[in-house]
Structure 1
Amino acid sequence: MPSNVEIKAVLRDINYLTQRAKDLSASEGTVIRQQDTFFKVPTGRLKLRDFQDGTGQLIFYERPDTEGPKLSNYSITPTSDPKGLVKVLTDALGLVGQVKKERTLFIVGQTRVHVDSVEGLGVFMELEVVMKENQSREEGVSIANQLMLELGVKEADLIDGAYMDLLLKDQKNGYRL
């Protein structure tokens, strides 16, 4: 199963981080609009990512809900009918909720740097160090930590869990970043 080392952080200065990501990736980034629909499953997380253009991906992943770099194992399959698949999976498994975001993607080495504007939550940064076949978790964590430094991400801004978790907390507790 493919894996990555991932971190998420609240963005305090979107302009600074975006400019640093542009510099490090030598690109303007790619803007992607996504709607992630999460389904009830006994372990891990299952989501259907709708790219809002008639295409999508069904993604299953397992990852601890802790702050800082964490290893995530995942599997992905494409779909050309995301809306139909959402209906079937909702009927079969039940719906947890949806996350709508606009993501700017930058590639820095083997790392996907995301600048995410999440509807109802705010602006975040996510790093996904895409692990090579024989690479250790420790190597991935080291790459993530170094990139955090280069992007000016502070440990105090790290968050745990998924955007869906934050939205659910917000609904239950009035949680705000």
Structure 2
Amino acid sequence: MPRNVEIKALVKNFDALRAKAAKLARAEGTLIKQADTFFVVPNGRLKLRELEGSEAQLIYYERPDAVGPKLSNYSISPVNNPQSLKHTLGQALGIVGEVKKERWLYLVGNTRIHCDRVQFIGDFMELEVVLDQQQQLEEGDIIAKDLMEKLGVEEKDLVHGAYMDIILSKIKN
């Protein structure tokens, strides 16, 4: 199963973050519009990701809901009929909710920098340090922390959980 080290942080100045990410990536980034539907599952998380202009994906992942760098194990399957699959999985498992976002993607080495505008909850930054089979979690932590510093992300801005968790928490309060 593929692995990566992830961090997620709240962003105060979205345009400044995007400028720093573009400088690190030496590219303007790619805009991706996404809608993720989360399903009720006993372990991990299961989501159907619909991408504007691209094939949808069914993504299963396991990741602790901790603040700071954390290991994520995931599996991705392409989906050619997302509406039918969403309906079927919704009937079989139940739907937790939906997350809609505009994501600017920047690539720096083996790391994906995501600058996300998430509907209902605001602006966030996510790092995904993709690990190869030989790399250890500690190496991913070092890369993530180095990029956090270069992007001006502070420890106090880190958040835990998925966007879906933040949305559900906001709805409850």
Deviations along 1:83-112, one digit per CA (max 9) or x if unpaired, are 111111101100000000000000011000
Percent identity reads 56
The equivalences for 1:53-72 within 5 A come to 53=53, 55-72=55-72
What one-letter code is carried by the residue in structure 2 that aligns with 1:77? S
Q: Verify the 8 A CA contact 1:54 1:81 in the aligned structure 2.
A: no
Q: Verify the 8 A CA contact 2:32 2:52 in the aligned structure 1.
A: no
2:97 equivalent in structure 1: 97
TM-score (norm 1): 0.96
Paired residues, number = 173
The equivalences for 1:87-166 within 5 A come to 87-166=87-166
Deviations along 1:61-87, one digit per CA (max 9) or x if unpaired, are 000001000000000001111111111
**Aligned-pair RMSD on alpha carbons?**
0.8
Deviations along 1:30-52, one digit per CA (max 9) or x if unpaired, are 00000000000000000000013
Q: Distance in 2 between matches of 1:134 and 1:59?
A: 23
Give the C-alpha shift of residue 53 in structure 1: 3.2
Question: Structure 1 residues 15 and 52 mapped into 2: Cα distance closer, same or farther (>3 Å)?
Answer: closer
TM-score (norm 2): 0.98
1:50 equivalent in structure 2: 50
Q: Distance in 1 between matches of 2:19 and 2:25?
A: 10
2:170 equivalent in structure 1: 170
SS in 2 for 1:57: strand
SS in 2 for 1:85: helix
Q: Distance in 2 between matches of 1:87 and 1:154?
A: 40
SS in 2 for 1:159: coil
- Can you give the 5+ residue segments of structure 2 that lack an aligned partner in the other structure? none
Give the C-alpha shift of residue 54 in structure 1: 6.1
SS in 2 for 1:43: coil
What one-letter code is carried by the residue in structure 1 that aligns with 2:73? N
